[in-house]
């Protein structure tokens, strides 16, 4: 799939950004990647809400092979072939894929800096001494103990 084909394909969906990615393109809207166009085909972002729709169409999740194993990427599913002929329905599926990508982004959002500072503030800082001072102190203690014992 070339860039012009993808632009035409998503015309009913609305404006998309198409960027080179791996062996194909990453397709995004509003700064959120929701589709991959690769040699293996077109894949939409999916989650527990949308995966049943892909399964009902007989689609499969994206997978690739390494030298050692085959990796299954359950977050991207193959777009049903029939949608290439129905741009309005493809746009509906693309909106659902964008929504799945937005839900995933919300789940992955890291905690704010304030939360991280509060978590570390609760734990008292461990007091550490430089190695030389710690050794000198322990030698002094042993020396005092020996003198007291005499």
146 has pLDDT over 60 = no
Across residues 103-116, what is the average pLDDT? 69
Across residues 68-76, what is the average pLDDT? 94
Residue 142 confidence class, pLDDT cut points 50, 70, 90: low
pTM: 0.70
**Domain 3-108 class in CATH:** alpha beta
Q: What is the per-residue pLDDT for 92?
A: 97
Which residue did the predictor score with more confidence, 70 or 23? 70
Q: What is the per-residue pLDDT for 34?
A: 97
128 has pLDDT over 90 = no
What are the residue boundaries of the structural domains of the chain, listed by start?
3-108
Q: What is the per-residue pLDDT for 1?
A: 80
Helices within the chain (DSSP H only) = 3-9, 51-56, 87-108, 113-122, 131-149
Q: What is the per-residue pLDDT for 35?
A: 97
Percent of the chain, pLDDT > 90? 63
Contact 91, 12 (CB under 8 A): yes
Output the CA angle 100-15-86, nearest 5 degrees.
Answer: 75
User: Mean pLDDT for the chain?
Assistant: 83
Q: pLDDT tens digits for 9-34?
A: 999 999 999 999 888 999 999 999 99
Name 35's bridge partners: 27, 44
């Amino acid at each position: 799939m070339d860039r012009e084909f993808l632009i035409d394909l998503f015309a009913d969906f609305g404006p998309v950004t198409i960027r080179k990615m791996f062996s194909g393109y990453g397709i995004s809207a509003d700064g959120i990647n929701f589709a991959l166009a690769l040699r293996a085909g077109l894949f939409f972002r999916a989650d527990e809400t949308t995966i049943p729709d892909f399964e009902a169409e007989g689609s499969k999740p994206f997978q690739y092979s390494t030298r050692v194993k085959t990796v299954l990427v359950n977050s991207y599913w193959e777009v049903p072939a029939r949608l290439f002929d129905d741009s309005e329905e493809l746009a509906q599926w693309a909106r659902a894929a964008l929504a799945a990508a937005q839900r995933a982004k919300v789940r992955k959002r890291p905690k704010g800096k304030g939360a991280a500072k509060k978590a570390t503030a609760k734990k008292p800082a461990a007091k550490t001494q430089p190695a030389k001072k710690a050794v000198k102190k322990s030698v002094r203690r042993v020396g005092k103990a020996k003198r007291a014992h005499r």
